[in-house]
């Protein structure tokens, strides 16, 4: 933990690979310190990461974020060791190849991409208020535009599954909707919340089934950008997008429209209910 409040600290979920790793590397290269919430460790072959860890500039907090018992433990650890956070990047996510459920019994995309970012924000809110930038960037996706239907009550246990345009898309939409809904009251407290599409990035890993339709997987391998491009878009939204209205969904550097905004208050209420009844109540 840095005891110098002038030190710039970012917390990044999903920092161990893809866009999150590239964002971590960029921030470290610019003199930031990074608290990384990841499921497993960083590659030991990355000399920059190895050096940052040894110097205490990169602090690693390990947990399966979709397991509330592990999530409570790791967020308590962060609150105990960090003295402030300037920017929170809720970046953990990904597309799964089939319908799966979390230890709490909810669909996995929903748990990781919609519910967990809300809990992480709420639990780290006091650290953000002690920081200088007080900014939250939630990684969303333009895939939300391709959701064929959107019924909030079906998010925890969807009736069916489609790769990319199913639970992945609807839960990214739900993330952006609660971000939009919560942003105004949080702005009154000095906190800035936005959701950002990081663009088309090649995040394929040989050891992981991407859960993408075959044609998208082919296109990704051939034409999509290196994850550093997505990291740059998140960085620009965090540090160059101060004029975005609170709760903006940012696509290619501009605030974009969201569908189903009439469901935003319901989504936010669902997040708060889970947080209060399942996360806080069990802890207390």
Decide which of 10 and 241 is more confident: 10
Give a yes or no: residue 3 inside a domain.
no
The CATH number of the domain holding residue 264 is: 3.40.50.720
Taking residues 197-209, report their average pLDDT: 63
Give a yes or no: residue 43 inside a domain.
yes
pLDDT band of residue 1 (cuts 50, 70, 90) is: very low
Give a yes or no: residue 54 inside a domain.
yes
Across the chain, what does the average pLDDT equal? 91
248-279: pLDDT as tens digits:
999 999 999 999 999 999 999 999 999 999 99
Give the pLDDT score at 216. 53
Give a yes or no: residue 1 inside a domain.
no
- Cα dihedral angle (198, 134, 24, 44), rounded to 10 degrees? -130
Is pLDDT of 282 > 90?
no
| Residues spanned by the domain of 120 | 9-283
- Cα dihedral angle (41, 47, 50, 52), rounded to 10 degrees? -120
pLDDT band of residue 198 (cuts 50, 70, 90) is: very high
Q: Which stretch of 9-18, 185-194, 221-230 has the lowest confidence by average pLDDT?
A: 221-230
Is pLDDT of 204 > 60?
no
Give a yes or no: residue 239 inside a domain.
yes
92-145: pLDDT as tens digits:
999 899 999 999 999 999 999 999 999 999 999 999 999 999 999 999 999 999
Which residues in 1-40 belong to E strands, given as ranges?
A: 9-13, 33-38
Is pLDDT of 155 > 80?
yes
Give a yes or no: residue 167 inside a domain.
yes
For residue 186, what are its two tokens? 């949080």
Give a yes or no: residue 4 inside a domain.
no
Give the pLDDT score at 44. 87
Give the pLDDT score at 111. 98
Give yes or no for a contact between 75 and 283, defined as CB atoms under 8 angstroms apart.
Answer: no
Beta bridge partners of 135: 87, 192
**Number of domains into which the chain is organized:** 1
Taking residues 64-70, report their average pLDDT: 98
Q: Read off the pTM.
A: 0.92
Closest by CA position to 143, among listed 171, 106, 122, 120: 171
Count CB-CB contacts under 10 A for residue 180: 22
């Amino acid at each position: 933990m840095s005891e110098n409040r002038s030190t710039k600290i970012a917390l990044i979920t999903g920092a161990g690979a893809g866009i999150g790793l590239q964002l971590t590397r960029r921030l470290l290269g610019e003199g930031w310190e990074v608290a990384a919430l990841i499921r497993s460790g960083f590659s030991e072959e990355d000399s920059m990461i190895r050096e940052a860890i040894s110097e205490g500039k990169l602090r690693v907090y390990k947990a399966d974020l979709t397991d509330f018992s592990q999530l409570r433990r790791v967020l308590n650890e962060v609150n105990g060791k960090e003295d402030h956070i300037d920017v929170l990047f809720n970046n953990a996510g990904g597309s799964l190849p089939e319908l799966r459920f979390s230890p709490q019994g909810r669909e996995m995309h929903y748990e990781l991409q919609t519910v967990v970012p809300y809990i992480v924000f709420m639990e780290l809110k006091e650290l953000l208020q002690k920081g200088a930038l007080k900014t939250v960037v939630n990684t969303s996706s333009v895939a939300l535009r391709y959701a064929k239907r959107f019924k909030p009550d079906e998010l925890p246990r969807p009736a069916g599954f489609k790769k990319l345009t199913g639970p992945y898309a609807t839960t990214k939409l739900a993330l952006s909707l609660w971000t939009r809904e919560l942003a105004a009251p949080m702005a009154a407290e000095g906190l800035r919340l936005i959701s950002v599409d990081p663009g088309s990035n090649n995040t394929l890993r040989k050891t992981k089934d991407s859960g993408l339709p075959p044609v998208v997987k082919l296109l990704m391998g051939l034409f999509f950008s290196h994850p550093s491009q997505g990291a740059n878009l998140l960085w620009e939204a965090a540090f160059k997008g101060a004029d975005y209205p609170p709760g903006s969904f940012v696509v290619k550097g501009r605030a974009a429209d969201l569908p189903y905004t009439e469901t935003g208050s319901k989504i936010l209420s669902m997040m708060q209910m889970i947080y209060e009844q399942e996360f806080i109540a069990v802890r207390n």
